[in-house]
Amino acid sequence: MEGRAASTTFATPLTRHAGIEVPLICGAMYPCSNPELVGAVSEAGGIGIVQPISLTYVHGYAFREGLRLIRRLTTKPIGMNALIEQSSRYYRRRMEEWIEVALEEGVRFFVTSLGNPKWVVERVTPVGGVVYHDVTERKWAEKGRDGGVKGLIAVNRRAGGHAGPKDPQALLDELANLGLPLVCAGGIGDADGFVGALRMGYAGAQLGTRFIATVECRAGDAYKRAIVEAAEDDIVLTERITGVPVAVIRTPYIDRLGLRAGVVARWMLQHRRGKHLMRTIYALRSLWQFKRSLHDETGRREYWQAGRSVRDIREILPAGEIVRRFADAARDLTVF
């Protein structure tokens, strides 16, 4: 792989836990995480997170084969995203299998989201694995801490994907006394934003949107260009895709659809049984729709997920270059 790795003069609990040089995570992204992107971020000294459904369903690799491809791109640590929502027994079994394969292939850093991470902690800790848990507020963070996670990824209101309700400082204040390292997720598009998060007291940052507008990401050019051209105000939250608000770039297509879930869907989401069914329908439909829109150049299906960090993203760059620029900007920080 091309380019030098970044070297830092600082370490944080995240760099120690993940065994990396720069406290920077390329977050899991359905459908945007592809092996080349994950490998490039890790090779440059950050850590790329594999999204198993993206790897297998969107990019077409058998899970182990995809991990081995990344291994050919870098020998440095990579992570895996375990979405642990209790939506179905089939899905839970699938996730357990993927974790086993990841462990066999040497993955030791896991990012859990959406449920109780305890079973993942219990499985991976005895073999040297570390779990960081995505949270948007304190009650989920406490659940994660009680489940034994080693760190929390604080997803704020500026994030791409399923954003949280709080701003980065409020979330930091709310989670600060839990005794776990906190990683800032949301709204960071350039090196200044990264340094700002570290200065605030975060142990690192998890970025999504910035890494879509990279050479290695296999998203289509129209999607990447839309990120580079969008302003912060172009980001809207829509319930139409997954039933819960997702940050997307406002396009004529999104305008036509409207932002709120339909009447029937809303009614079902309010009832316990209906909610389960509706979530499953939404999950399957959104997997397909996001996959379809990844390479769309026709302008007919512009379902482009992105967060408010678009404000600071002005060019498509190699992923490793982003890691190196961030590391250079943070080099002289002595906060840790």
Binding site for ligand FMN (CB under 6 A): 27-30, 32, 51, 81, 83, 113, 134, 155, 158-161, 185-188, 206-210, 305-307, 309
| Cα dihedral: 212, 222, 72, 95 (round 10) | 60
* Those residues with Cβ within 8 angstroms of residue 335's Cβ, 6 or more apart along the chain or in another chain: 10, 198, 199, 201
* Nearer CB in complex with ligand FMN: 163/269: 163
Minimal distance, residue 271 CB to ligand FMN, in Å: 27
Concatenate the DSSP letters of all residues of 310-335 into one string.
GGG--S-B-HHHHHHHHHHHHTT---
Distance from C-alpha of 216 to C-alpha of 212, rounded to nearest angstrom: 8
Minimal distance, residue 46 CB to ligand FMN, in Å: 13
Distance from C-alpha of 311 to C-alpha of 301, rounded to nearest angstrom: 23
Helices (H) and strands (E) in the chain, counts: 15, 10
* Nearer CB in complex with ligand FMN: 207/268: 207
In the structure encoding, which two tokens stand for residue 3, read together? 């380019």
* Nearer CB in complex with ligand FMN: 30/268: 30
For residue 153, the tally of other CB atoms under 10 A from its CB is 29
* Nearer CB in complex with ligand FMN: 129/187: 187
For residue 129, the tally of other CB atoms under 10 A from its CB is 19
Instruction: List residues bridging with 26 in a β-sheet.
Output: 48, 207
Minimal distance, residue 84 CB to ligand FMN, in Å: 10
Minimal distance, residue 10 CB to ligand FMN, in Å: 21
* Those residues with Cβ within 8 angstroms of residue 40's Cβ, 6 or more apart along the chain or in another chain: 1, 48, 73, 74, 214, 216, 318, 319, 320
* Nearer CB in complex with ligand FMN: 12/309: 309
DSSP assignment letter at 47:
E
As to burial, measured by CB atoms within 10 angstroms (0-12 exposed, 13-18 middle, 19+ buried), residue 4 is exposed
* Nearer CB in complex with ligand FMN: 12/305: 305
Minimal distance, residue 115 CB to ligand FMN, in Å: 11
Minimal distance, residue 33 CB to ligand FMN, in Å: 7
* Nearer CB in complex with ligand FMN: 167/262: 167
* Nearer CB in complex with ligand FMN: 61/268: 61
* Nearer CB in complex with ligand FMN: 63/268: 63
Gyration radius of the chain over CA positions: 19
Give residue number: closest CB to ligand FMN.
Answer: 208
DSSP assignment letter at 4:
P
For residue 210, the tally of other CB atoms under 10 A from its CB is 28
Minimal distance, residue 67 CB to ligand FMN, in Å: 17
Minimal distance, residue 265 CB to ligand FMN, in Å: 21
Minimal distance, residue 150 CB to ligand FMN, in Å: 17
